[in-house]
Amino acid sequence: MHTVSGGEVAGILVAVFWAILVSFLAVALARLAQTLRTTTKLVADVTDQAVPLLADASAAVRSAQTQIDRVDAIASDVQEVTSNASALSTTVASTFGGPLVKVAAFGYGVRRALGGRKEDMSAPADQARRTVIVGRTLPAARRTKRKKG
């Protein structure tokens, strides 16, 4: 029989340790290779799906830009119409405003003059009269001054 020395036992232990280590590394490398294959397939699938999505997104952005350009054109047209309406309003007010106010004031004065004569003849002197303020009629109670007591 052959006797085994301490160095040989140590060599066998190191060889077994390395065999176990290599086995674990082989399993880890096999799992890593499987993960890399799955990742490669996933990236390829994402790329296949992302390209049409990016094309659709690009078309949507172009469409949105077209709509924004249209809205901008409409807004500038509305601004032009608003300035034209403002100029027309100013022109009408300056042309007809003064004469219309004068005609209204004259009509009010005539009504007041004619109305005052009728009231003097038919109405009692203490009956409350109404005050007319451009489009509104105020009762006598609102136009009288309060006496301080």
CA distances (Å), origin 136, targets 9, 109, 132: 121, 16, 6
**Where along the chain do its domains lie?**
13-112
pLDDT tens for the chain, 149 residues: list them: 778 788 899 999 999 999 999 999 999 999 999 999 999 999 999 989 988 899 999 999 999 999 999 999 999 999 999 999 998 888 887 787 777 778 888 888 888 888 866 555 555 555 555 555 666 555 555 545 555 54
**Which whole-number Å values give the CA distances from 91 to 88, 104, 105, in the listed order?**
5, 20, 22
User: What pLDDT is recorded for position 83?
Assistant: 92
Q: What is the pTM of this model?
A: 0.39
- pLDDT number for residue 140: 57
SS (H, E, C) the chain: CCCCCHHHHHHHHHHHHHHHHHHHHHHHHHHHHHHHHHHHHHHHHHHHHHHHHHHHHHHHHHHHHHHHHHHHHHHHHHHHHHHHHHHHHHHHHHHHHHHHHHHHHHHHHHHHHHHHHHHHHHCCCCCCCCEEECCEEECHHHHCCCCCC
pLDDT at residue 98 in the model: 78
- Cα 148 to its chain centre, rounded Å, is 56
| Amino acid present at 80 | E
